[in-house]
Amino acid sequence: MRPIWKGMLSFGLVNIPVSLVPATRKQAINFNQLRKSDYSRVQYKKVAAIDGKEVPADQIVKGYEVSPDSYVVISDAELEQISPEQSRVIDIEDFCRLDEIDPRHYDASYYLVPNEGAGKAYALLLRALKESNVVGIAKIVKHQKEYLVAIRPTEGALSLSTMLFPEELISTADLEVKPDIELSDKELSMAKLLVESQISKFDPNKYRNEYYNAVYNLIITKAEKEQISCVTENEHASAGKVIDIMAALEASIKAIEEKEKPKRKKKTG
């Protein structure tokens, strides 16, 4: 797995050279948009709202709308001046109990992998966190943005979860929910009985992305049976030439199948 960040993980006076790698991958099938009449690709251009003219990238600036059609323009140089200092150190500031963290704070997940020569220090922190049943809280600067993170032991490795700051969470006070509705003892008893009768140990392997699989199977079926009429960039739209794009489809499907192989092995294993 290719690291997306390299630096030091620090707690106290212990510094551990580590690499950050993704712990998740999004399972999605991406579609291109085509013109219905000839299946030519639909492209997007950035145009000015006032005259509809295309705007080159070097003529685009950042603006924050403070009132309708009134903007404060911020330059890249101004943003760089207040950007968090690029640091290659994840300094654990606090340790806390896992059950004290509201799950809503969690965002993206990664693994911290020890670099060469860092195995012992890495194992020391991993074991300490596991036996103390605590999570390390730190900050990391990635892509010129500062993130709050939680570091915890996960199946023999250290995982890092980026977290949302408190102001990024929407309070339930803003929802139209009335938790103080009067309930009878019988209603509550029956509801609890229903819930408790279905309690089981959480097993993520029993759940499948059914929609993804259905779309994937649809693509496989159509690719095997159909030829698609489309226009390439070098052909005029009126040509209406029918070409065999099975090779391109097969290459795309092969890529999808490669992603599916690990899951199939787990399922049959």
Domain boundary among 132, 166, 200: 166
| Side-chain half-sphere CA neighbours of 92 within 13 A | 21
Q: pLDDT per position in the chain (269 positions), as tens? A: 788 899 999 888 888 999 999 998 888 888 999 998 888 999 889 999 999 999 999 999 999 998 888 999 999 888 888 877 767 889 999 999 989 999 999 999 999 999 988 988 999 999 999 999 999 999 988 877 889 999 999 999 999 999 999 999 988 887 887 777 888 889 889 888 888 888 888 787 887 878 788 888 888 877 777 655 555 555 544 443 333 445 555 565 666 667 666 656 655 55
Q: Which CATH number does the domain housing residue 159 bear?
A: 2.40.290.10
- Angstrom CA distances, 225 to 33, 215, 247, stand at 21, 16, 13
My answer on whether 19 and 143 are in the same domain is yes
Spell out the long-range contacts of 24-29 with Cβ–Cβ below 8 A and sequence spacing 24 or more: 24/108, 24/109, 25/259, 27/209, 27/212, 27/259, 28/212, 29/212, 29/215, 29/216, 29/219, 29/256
My answer on whether 160 and 224 are in the same domain is no
Find residue 243's DSSP bridge partners: 228
**DSSP tag of 59:** G
**Rounded distance, CA 73 to CA 81, Å?**
15
- Joined tokens for residue 2: 């290719």
Beta-carbon contacts of residue 215 (< 8 Å; ≥ 6 apart): 29
My answer on whether 214 and 110 are in the same domain is no
Beta-carbon contacts of residue 256 (< 8 Å; ≥ 6 apart): 29, 216, 219
Amino acid letter for position 142: K
My answer on whether 9 and 98 are in the same domain is yes
